[in-house]
Structure 1
Amino acid sequence: MYQEPIFLSPEFKERIWGGTKLKELFQYDIPSNETGECWGISGHANGPNKIINGPLAGKTLNDAWNKHRELFANEQGDEFPLLVKILDSKKDLSVQVHPNDTYAREVEGENYGKTECWYVIDCEEESEIIFGHHAKSKDELTSMVNNGQWAQLLRRIPVQPGDFFYVPSGTIHAIGEGIQILETQQSSDITYRVYDYDRIGADGQKRELHLDRSLDVTTVPHKDPEVVRDSYLEAGLRFEKLVEEKYFTVHHWDLDGKSNELHPDKYTLISVLTGEGVVTIDTKDYSFKKGDHFIIPATVNNYTLSGRAKMITSRSNK
């Protein structure tokens, strides 16, 4: 039986709005000074991670999902369901919206729409995100979009490190400049741009917008989802539940010492934001550090953590 963590090699994505913070904060070997995304835990076809340890070293997370489903509690589905990223927005991201599962299947031919959530790792002073809009009806939304009334339409919110936002499909949103976040989402790469500040892409043209589909899928009126952050301390490990919803449950873990035995009911995705430590399984130690991404497979009955580190963890709710 597979009795060790599955460590993954990150995949990087260059973006027009990206920068160098992924290197500065996590010592990643980024491909350029416009690196916007680290795909830390991904089975998506646009960037599946390679496994770097154990008997599956050299295989992709997709390989493990397709051929060793016992590692994932024999969960159903053709694709690994979640995608965990770290984003660096040196510049504003486009204002965008994502479809739900039904629209993604019927219009895009994809299995998943995109519901996501954000944990703010770091940001500059006075940083903002766009989260929602002020239109009261679909007609008002359409009119404001078509007339470019962005200042009146878009809802801006200041952010600081440690903030958390749950972003269901249908929510107009954008990460502002100077922010680094960890994003947990459905395994989807479908994005509809609503507005992009008239930026010019690599081809010398304004980047494509997707107004018809954006208007199709946007929730009107906008309503903030309720987020209740519950936390408790247990033997050196503080657990804080950030969200539990249809697709995923996400926690923030703060490790200071040694945890009690942990007994996962499913497989657990772990991304290390700060510090370092050790996972112990059957008396064998596996070291981790800031910037690492790994999975505790469902075949592990129990494990402990020791060290000092802060982590974002998640699991699928399929």
Structure 2
Amino acid sequence: MLQEPIFLKPVLQERIWGGTKLREEYGYEIPSETTGEAWVISAHPNGSSTVAGGEFAGKSLAQLWEDHGELFNKKTSGEYPLLVKILDAADDLSVQVHPDDRYAQEVEGEPYGKTECWYVLGAQEGANLILGHNAQDKSEFEKMVDDGEWEQLFRYVKVQKGDFVYVPSGTIHAIGRGITILEVQQSSDITYRVYDYDRRDKDGNTRELHLDRAKAVTNIPHEDVKLDFGTIEKDDMTIQQLVKEEYFTVEKWEIDGEAEHSISADFLQADVTEGHGSIEVAGQEYKLAKGVHFILPNGVKDIKFGGDMELIVSHP
């Protein structure tokens, strides 16, 4: 059994709405001034993270999942289940919706739909996002879409650093300008665009919309999901559960000093979002800092932390 963290190098993705925060805030070597996404823990075919060191250095996470299922206590032949990203929205993202598993499998031939959640890493004053819609039934929804009544249709929510948002499949949503988020999601890249502000790409073309499929998968009427989980404090560590749903559990761990912790999940994904410190696994210490991402594989049960840092931790 591997008794060490698996550190990962992110895959950087250019986007029409991206910016430079992934370089400025996290020190990543971005490919352009419009870099929107860092896929920091990913085994998806459109961008698989690679192992940064240790026994499996240079291998992709997809290869590890395929060839070393024991690292994850892998029980099925399916795809790696989750994907973690950091998104820098220098401009508004398109308004979009994602299908559930059944629709993704039957219509797209893909293994997973896309339920996701967002932890807000930063937000300029007054920043907001779109979450849900105001239509009361399917006919009203379709009429508002067909008539382009976007301001009346979309629900706007103000956010600030530290907020958490759960976005089940079928939820109309968009991240607004000036927001940086860490996203934990099912490992899916299926997006149906509903509205894109009539933007044009570098070649002067408007981006494709997917209105028929969006109408087919959108939850109507929209219902907010109520999340209310407790906080555990032990030693110099605070654990706040953010969501525990069908596809993933996500927690925020805050370390202020030294703490020991035992792991019961098959494996853990961890993203250092603030500060710096260290983790000790099997008597070996590893340095951690903002922008570092790693997996604690199956078999790692007891860990020790030191330092002053915040991590977002997730598992299937």
TM-score calculated relative to the size of structure 2:
0.98
2:276 aligns to what? 276
2:246 maps to 246
Distance apart, 1:255 and its partner CA: 0.7
Percent identical residues: 52
2:257 corresponds to which letter in structure 1? G
Paired with 2:242 and 2:125, the residues of 1 have a C-alpha distance of 23
Q: Distance in 2 between matches of 1:160 and 1:243?
A: 18
Deviation per residue, 1:120-143 (Å, 9 max, x gap): 010100000000000000100000
Q: Retained in 1: the 8 A contact 2:260–2:302?
A: no
Superposed displacement of residue 103, structure 1: 0.3
- 2:177 maps to which residue? 177
Contact 2:172 2:218 in 1 (8 A): yes
1:56 and 1:159, CA in 2 relative to 1: closer, same or farther beyond 3 A?
same
Q: Could you tell me how far apart the structure 2 residues matched to 1:206 and 1:184 are?
A: 29
Supply the distance in 2 between the matched residues of 1:119 and 1:188 (Cα, whole angstroms): 18
Aligned to 1:69: 69
Aligned-pair CA distance for 1:77: 3.8
Secondary structure of residue in 1 paired with 2:302:
coil
Q: Quote the offset at 1:92 in angstroms.
A: 0.3
List alignment gaps of at least 5 residues for structure 1: none
For 1:124 and 1:77, the matched residues in 2 are separated by 43
CA displacement 1:84-137 (0-9 Å, x = unmatched): 000000000000000000000011000000000000010100000000000000
Equivalent residue runs for 1:1-318 within 5 Å? 1-316=1-316
Q: How many residues align?
A: 316
Answer whether contact 1:264 1:298 (CA < 8 A) is retained: no
The superposition leaves residues 225-282 of structure 1 with CA deviations (integer Å, 9 ceiling, x where unpaired) of: 1111421211111000000000000001101111123233320000000111111112
2:4 and 2:282 in contact (8 A); partners too: no
* Counterpart secondary structure, 1:56: coil
Secondary structure in 1 matching 2:111:
coil
TM-score, structure 1 as length reference: 0.98
Q: Give me the whole-angstrom Cα distance separating, in 1, the residues matched to 2:124 and 2:77.
A: 40
Pick closer, same or farther for the CA change 1:225–1:261 going to 2, 3 Å.
closer
In structure 1, give the amino acid aligned to 2:73: A
The code of the aligned residue for 2:268 comes to T
CA RMSD, Structure 1 to Structure 2 (Å) = 0.9
Does the residue aligned with 2:55 lie in a helix, a strand or coil? Answer: helix
Distance 1:77 1:215 in 2: 32
